[in-house]
Structure 1
Amino acid sequence: MINKVFSVRADVDNVLVFDMDYTGPEGRIRSVYAYRASDIYSPLTPIITQWIADNNPEILPYIPPPEPTAEELRAQMPDKTPREFRDILTDMGIFPHMVAAKINEIPFDIERQKALNAWEVSTYISRTDPYVDMIGAMFDKSPAEIDAAWKVR
C-alpha cells in the first residue's frame, strides 16, 4: 500500500523513480524505488501502476547525477600490490631507492617511521592512502599525474 508519494522523477529507459512511503511485507518504510511498468516480478508494479492511473502525478524531468569528484574517482581505483605501486613509480622515473632516501629525510621520527612502514610493510596500496600523494609530492608529481599512472597499470 502506498501511503505517500513525495516525488516521481523520470529516469533513463522508461523508468520512473519514486520517493515514497509505503507499507510492504517488511512494514512501513520510506524508500526510493525504481519503477518500470513492464517489471512483472516486483509486487509493487501493479500497485504503482494503479496509483499512477488514479493520481496522474507530475513527473519531474530526469536530472543526471553529478560528475564524480577526483576524490570519488580515486576511491574507486583498485588497490595495487607493493610491486605494482613500485612499477607505477618506476614508470614515472621514481625508483625505490629514491623513495627510501626521501622518506629517510623526514625530520620527525614518528612521521618518518610511519612513512617507512607504509613503504616497506604494506601488503596493498590504496590510491586514497595519503602516503601515495606524499610520495608523489616528494618528486613534484601532482595527484592528477599519479591518477593517470595508476589507471594505466
Structure 2
Amino acid sequence: MEKGFYHPDIGYWQTVGGNPSLDDYPEGTIEVPFKPSENHIWQGNQWVYVEPHQPTAAELRAQMADKTPREFRDILTDMGIFPHMVAAKINEIPFDIERQKALNAWEVSTYISRIDPYVDMIGAMFDKSPAEIDTAWLA
C-alpha cells in the first residue's frame, strides 16, 4: 500500500507496499497526500505550489560547455572578430600585467570557459554584449 509521509526535519517520502504506520517513523511524522510535483512544498496542512527557480544568465553561463581555443576562435570568427584583431586589441591594454594575463588567456589556454572574464572582455572590445556571446557560444 502506497502512502505519503512528511516530517519537518526529514521532508517528504512515500512508502510502497506493506502497511506502514505513523508508529514506524520519528515523532512529528504525519501522513499526507501524495506530493503533486517536485515544485510543491508542505505548508501547514497542504501542498503549496512554488514557482521553480529560474536560473540567472550567470548561472546559465556557468553551465555552458567549455570550448577549445579553436572552437572559441571559430565562434569569434562567426561574429566577424578575427584572431589578429583580438591580438591587436589585447596589445592596446595599457597595463602590463593585465595585458599579459589577457595574452595568456588568448594564446596559452587549453580550454575556454564561458565564465572566464576574458571572454566578456574580448566581446566588449568589439561591442558584443554577454547575451550576444551566449547566443554564439550555444550555436
Q: TM-score, normalised by structure 1?
A: 0.68
Counterpart amino acid of 2:8? Answer: M
Match of 1:35 among 4, 13, 24: 13
Gapped regions of structure 2 (runs ≥ 5):
19-23, 33-43
Match of 2:31 among 53, 56, 76: 53
1:108 and 2:86 correspond: no
CA separation of 1:96 and 1:70: change in aligned 2, threshold 3 A:
same
Residue pairs, 1:6-85, within 5 angstroms: 20-21=8-9, 33-38=11-16, 47=25, 51-53=29-31, 58-85=45-72
> Aligned-pair distance for 1:62?
1.9
> Aligned-pair distance for 1:20?
3.0
> Aligned-pair distance for 1:137?
0.2
Once residues 19 and 141 of structure 1 are traced to their aligned partners in structure 2, the CA distance between those partners, rounded to angstroms, is 51
Counterpart amino acid of 2:30? Answer: I
Across the aligned residues of Structure 1 and Structure 2, the Cα RMSD in angstroms comes to: 2.7
> Aligned-pair distance for 1:18?
5.4
Describe the SS at the equivalent of 1:68.
coil
Describe the SS at the equivalent of 1:128.
coil
Once residues 20 and 128 of structure 1 are traced to their aligned partners in structure 2, the CA distance between those partners, rounded to angstroms, is 38
Aligned to 2:21: none
Once residues 52 and 101 of structure 1 are traced to their aligned partners in structure 2, the CA distance between those partners, rounded to angstroms, is 67
Q: TM-score, normalised by structure 2?
A: 0.74
